[in-house]
Structure 1
Amino acid sequence: MTEHPEQPPPSARPQRRLDARSLRGLAHPLRMQIFELLNLDGPATATRLAERLGENTGTVSWHLRHLAEHGFIEEETGRGTKRERWWRRVPVANRLDTADFRDDPASRGALALYLHELVQQYFNRVTSYLDEEWEDEWRNVGTVSDWSNLRLTPGQLQSLNDELFAVIARHTVGEGSEPEPGALPVVVQLQSFPRRTEGGAA
């Protein structure tokens, strides 16, 4: 299984393949929440992040330094003060191939935690959208859908995912381009996976 938490257009930003060390550096519930906020909402200080997350500023600062040590975020130079630093995500798309950790027992715990927290983040985004008030023009174009009647081989599933990624890439504003007037940030979440039938057969 390959996870693309931040799937970019093919040429928009470089990719980094997560190794065991970087995975362990990110696989913590609070660090993943911090990284998500910096990814979705842009640069912030430890104080602002702590307020949003309901955490102690010192605790958030410690996790920010940890994320920076592992190359996920960096200080935004020329902004803030020595006592109040601004942090931003490093402009690299992180790619996780779970097969890389299949034979590494020491990383299984971090991998399981990371994947479960990632799915929880996806769930929280959907529930937030459903709980929020939106104008009809936006409410009527959002979707929460699933299709469960496909029968695919591994190669066909890979082809399906590649085609879907290509569609998203075509609708992604490139570096240096301006979005259309009235455009808002849009989250597209894609989960595609095989399901075992009753009795455990594939």
Structure 2
Amino acid sequence: MDTQDEAPRDAPPRIGDARELDVGALRALAHPLRVEIYDILSQYGPQTASSLAEQLGESSGATSYHLRALAKHDLIREVPGRGTARERWWERPKGAVSMTNPETVKTPAGRAASQLVISEFYRRRHRQLEDFIAANMRKDPEEWTAMLSTATVRLTDAQFEQLVHELEAVIDEYVARYREQEGEGVRPFTVRTDVFPLTDRRQS
């Protein structure tokens, strides 16, 4: 799993340059609340312990503790030149991050930490999708500012790698081209594209 910082930045991060998290960083992240904090920083940009506490229904002391634990492994950092001694701002550094370091997953501890982190990330993203659907169900689907799409396409591994590096706009083309493909090395892949606006938690 690769995850990018999704808040606006000067230049888009590149998956090919993803930082592979070691066991220490993964174990530091392997806590549901820390995953949520990390993802909020990714999606919404810099936050303080207080703003995170308000969004998460936690105390600022708890969020401050988890922020320091994440910073200890360079998963997040203080925003330069912003904040005070009493109100520190935190951000996720630019760049993509891989949760599936080939070396890390060779150990039981590394596999366990990777599984927990990835599961929590997808659990959070699925909750966001469900929240979006619930909030918009009374509207005409044509009025949704979203693209929710699933598809099954038969590809070789090489064709899969080609697909994931292309824009979502060409997914339909790949489905049509390879739908009936058979032969050595061909297997089914599910292609899921969810594009929808995130709720501003500070206004909810």
Amino acid at match of 1:6: Q
What is the one-letter code of the residue matched to 1:23?
A: L
**What per-residue deviation string (whole Å, max 9, x for no partner) do you get for residues 59-95 of structure 1?**
1101000111111211123322212211111122212
1:166 shift after superposition: 10
Match of 1:178 in 2: none
Identity of aligned residues (%): 38
Q: Pick from 140, 146, 167: which aligns with 1:142?
A: 146
Q: Which amino acid aligns with 1:12?
A: P
The counterpart of 2:155, out of the listed 131, 135, 152, is 152
**2:56 is the counterpart of 1:53:** yes
- Trace 1:33-72 onto structure 2 (pairs within 5 A): 33-72=36-75
C-alpha distance 123-72 of structure 1, shift in aligned 2 (>3 A): same
CA-to-partner distance for each residue in 1:32-72, whole Å, 9 max, x for gaps? 11111111111111011001100121111010001111112
Whether 1:73 and 2:85 are equivalent positions in the alignment is no
Runs of 5+ consecutive residues of structure 1 not aligned to the other structure:
168-186, 190-202
Residue 141 of structure 2 is aligned to residue 129 of structure 1: no
- Shift of residue 142, structure 1, vs aligned partner: 1.4
Any conservation in 1 of the 2:22–2:101 contact (CA below 8 Å)? no
Question: Secondary structure of the equivalent of 1:64?
Answer: helix
Once structures 1 and 2 are overlaid, which stretch shifts more, 126-135 or 21-30?
Answer: 126-135
Residue aligned with 1:163, SS: coil
- State TM-score, norm by structure 1: 0.70
Q: What's the Cα RMSD here?
A: 2.9
1:12 and 2:12 are equivalent in the alignment: yes
- The runs of 5 or more residues in structure 2 that have no matched partner are 171-193, 197-204
1:83 and 1:34 map into 2 onto residues whose CA distance is: 19
* 1:23 counterpart SS class: helix
Higher strand share: 2
Structure 1 residues 34 and 129 mapped into 2: Cα distance closer, same or farther (>3 Å)?
same
